[in-house]
Structure 1
């Protein structure tokens, strides 16, 4: 097995993007390739077929590589929940909430998990594509860094360095990072890439000369233009890719402080006649035709934030004026009448009233529901079936029977692990939907049903499915690599 690690000069330099593009490029060159990130910190997560939880970015990379996502692609996942703590997910299984200082006390034991998982891959792929985190030369962290240099040195593979010209100072970024990498690891470098260039590439044509003066033996692979239409979902829920998109009727997504799984909004970007907007204030919520409360890693804390900002009253007033409201996962829990987390197992402890738009109550328990399902949408005109998944703490129940509240199940799902069992999922009431399903809007039928409920006549769902769009996207990313980069050093290492 060969191994290539993509390191960055900083966070959000384009490491996830590069691994995804390289995976698609290697796959279509007939190479069996798998993604790997030793330790990820993100609230955007994915559920594997076996019920394991991994970073969403590694799941995207796996699909680009033509592989089914599994827990061994991301053995350590940290999900920030506020107050300096994160939930530790180890090989797909949720463990305790842990403070940073306590986490670092277990670095060597965690390294054993990383090392064993690297060994797992040795006879399962031709190339393992590793993704780094932040910068590999944070001098105060290098001795306890599990994700950047240590894995690739252990495998004696090779690494690429990605610099972000959008941040400015790209020469200092790349030359400084290369200078600070310890010599044994420096010898494993394959080359470096300048990423996210906007404008006329000819203005950067003399860059190679300047880099060569300071790094004569470190290959310059080229500069990649920033392609707005070739941006798969990011692992960072608060990054720029989760901003407003489209033109038309306004669909407002609430940007919680502990927002998770922001990618639930992305299928809407394929459609016409609607605009996706992320909001944090009452003013930004004005003129919304649909309001969506997405997932949260700390539901009670984010519900309190709604009340502090006045967004709770604005949402209730909007509903009284005929606006359609949707809650997904934590947002679904908030739409109920009661939420109780006496032990603080999901973040902030307490017992609070919800927004009261759905006749449900939620009790948070130590166990976590993690499962992949087939969602089934039926209407008088159509039926659609696609993969979705649940990741949540808390058991949600109807306070009374459905009949007394004039609510119905939102859709049906088929549980795919163990016994193949059909059951109802979610609730729809008077212009209110609630669901635990991440991936709910990957169905054009579900998106269109929602806009019809909201009387948005100009909405036109895309002709292409979200899944087909993603595959086209990965192939186009691979095309961009071939067009703009000198890939000879990578080819030579793999031959």
Structure 2
């Protein structure tokens, strides 16, 4: 097995993008390739077929590589929940909430998990693509590194460094990072890439000359132009490019402080006549035609934030004006009458009133629901089936004592050959635990019809087919702009 690590000069330099594109390129060249990130910190997560939880970025990379996502692609996942703590997920299974200072006391034990998982891959793929985190030369963190240099040194592989020209100072980024590496690590370099160039590439034609003066032995692989239409989802809760997209009727997504699974908004980007925007103030809801409350890693804290900011009152006012309201996962829980988390298993402990738009109560327990399910949507216009997943710690039930307010389920799901109702559907309020709800064009169209948005035009291509198309186009971009001979030569040795 060969190993290539994609390192970055900073966070959001394009490491996830490069692993995805390189994986798609290797796959279509007949290479059995798998993605890997030793430690990920993100509230954007995915559920494997076995019920394991990993970072969304590694799931995307796996699909680009032609592989089924499994927990061994991301053995350590940290899900920030506020107050300096994160939920620790090891090999797909949620463990305790842990403070940063306590986490770092277990580095060597965690390294054993990473090391064992690296060995797991040795006879399961031809190439393991490793993604780094932040910068590999954060001098105050290098002694407790689990994700950048230690894994690739263990595998005796090679690395590629990615610099972000959009941030400015790309020469200092790349040359400075290289100079801070040890001589042993420098010798493992395959080359470096300048990423996210906007404008006329000819203006950067002399870059190789300047780089070579300071790094004569590290090959310059080229510069990648920024392609706004070739951006798969970020592992961060929101990258800048995802803030607003499209044009037309406005669908407002509430940007919680502890937002999770923000990628639920992305299928709307395929459609015409819709503008997706993320909001943090009540004034931004004035022109919204639909309001969506997404997932949260700390539901009670984010519900309090809604009230403090005035967004809760604005949402209730919009509902009275006839604006459809949708809640997903934590957002679904907030739409109910009461939420109880006496032990603080999902973040901040306490009992609070919800927004009262759905006749449901939620009680949090230590047992986390993590599973893939098939969603089945049926309306007068269409029937659709697709794969979705659930990640939540709350147990939500209808308030059966109020028979006058019992509502039908939103849709049906199939899991383990059994069918059951899922979610709650009011006249203008929907609630669901399903991440991936809007990957169905039929669901998106049903919602815009409910909102009387006549200009909405759902895409003809499915979300899943568009993703596969996207990965191939990313591979095309690599082939068109980078010198990939160094990678070919390494793999042919």
- Alignment TM class, shorter chain as reference: over 0.9
2:339 aligned partner: 339
2:251 aligned partner: 251
By how many angstroms is 1:447 displaced?
A: 0.3
1:494 aligned partner: 491
Q: 1:223 touches 1:484 (CA, 8 Å); kept in 2?
A: yes
By how many angstroms is 1:239 displaced?
A: 1.6
By how many angstroms is 1:401 displaced?
A: 6.4
SS of alignment partner, residue 105 of structure 1 = helix
Alpha-carbon distance between aligned partners in 1 of 2:183 and 2:202, rounded to the nearest angstrom: 34
1:320 aligned partner: 320
- Within a 5 Å distance, the mapping from 1:37-76 to structure 2 comes to 37-76=37-76
More divergent stretch after superposition (397-406 vs 382-391): 397-406
1:97 aligned partner: 97
2:452 aligned partner: 455
Q: 1:175 touches 1:211 (CA, 8 Å); kept in 2?
A: yes
Alpha-carbon distance between aligned partners in 2 of 1:56 and 1:310, rounded to the nearest angstrom: 31
Aligned length: 492
By how many angstroms is 1:403 displaced?
A: 5.3
Relative to structure 1, is the Cα distance of residues 403 and 444 closer, same or farther in structure 2, using a 3 angstrom cutoff? farther
Alpha-carbon distance between aligned partners in 1 of 2:10 and 2:229, rounded to the nearest angstrom: 23
1:411 aligned partner: 411
By how many angstroms is 1:380 displaced?
A: 2.5
2:355 aligned partner: 355
Alpha-carbon distance between aligned partners in 2 of 1:80 and 1:7, rounded to the nearest angstrom: 23
Relative to structure 1, is the Cα distance of residues 21 and 267 closer, same or farther in structure 2, using a 3 angstrom cutoff? same
Alignment TM-score, normalising by the size of structure 1: 0.99
Alignment TM-score, normalising by the size of structure 2: 0.99
Output one character per residue of 1:55-89: Cα deviation in whole Å (capped at 9) or x when no partner.
00000000000000000000000000000000000
1:476 aligned partner: 473
Alpha-carbon distance between aligned partners in 2 of 1:138 and 1:421, rounded to the nearest angstrom: 50
Q: 1:242 touches 1:262 (CA, 8 Å); kept in 2?
A: no
SS of alignment partner, residue 358 of structure 1 = coil
By how many angstroms is 1:37 displaced?
A: 0.1
By how many angstroms is 1:169 displaced?
A: 0.4
Q: 2:398 touches 2:406 (CA, 8 Å); kept in 1?
A: no
By how many angstroms is 1:468 displaced?
A: 0.4
* Segments of 4+ moved more than 4 angstroms: none
Q: 1:337 touches 1:354 (CA, 8 Å); kept in 2?
A: yes
Alpha-carbon distance between aligned partners in 2 of 1:483 and 1:253, rounded to the nearest angstrom: 36
2:146 aligned partner: 146
1:199 aligns with 2:196: no
Alpha-carbon distance between aligned partners in 2 of 1:235 and 1:403, rounded to the nearest angstrom: 43
SS of alignment partner, residue 434 of structure 2 = coil
By how many angstroms is 1:285 displaced?
A: 1.1
2:23 aligned partner: 23
By how many angstroms is 1:382 displaced?
A: 1.8
Relative to structure 1, is the Cα distance of residues 364 and 203 closer, same or farther in structure 2, using a 3 angstrom cutoff? same
2:164 aligned partner: 164
SS of alignment partner, residue 459 of structure 2 = coil
Alpha-carbon distance between aligned partners in 2 of 1:258 and 1:229, rounded to the nearest angstrom: 27
CA RMSD, aligned part only? Answer: 0.8
Relative to structure 1, is the Cα distance of residues 396 and 205 closer, same or farther in structure 2, using a 3 angstrom cutoff? same
1:34 aligned partner: 34
Structure 2 residue runs of 5 or longer lacking an equivalent are: none
Alpha-carbon distance between aligned partners in 1 of 2:458 and 2:424, rounded to the nearest angstrom: 23
Alpha-carbon distance between aligned partners in 1 of 2:426 and 2:383, rounded to the nearest angstrom: 21
Alpha-carbon distance between aligned partners in 1 of 2:80 and 2:228, rounded to the nearest angstrom: 29
By how many angstroms is 1:189 displaced?
A: 0.5
Q: 1:406 touches 1:429 (CA, 8 Å); kept in 2?
A: no
SS of alignment partner, residue 139 of structure 2 = coil
Q: 1:402 touches 1:408 (CA, 8 Å); kept in 2?
A: no
Alpha-carbon distance between aligned partners in 2 of 1:169 and 1:182, rounded to the nearest angstrom: 22
By how many angstroms is 1:176 displaced?
A: 0.5
Structure 1 residue runs of 5 or longer lacking an equivalent are: none
1:440 aligns with 2:440: no
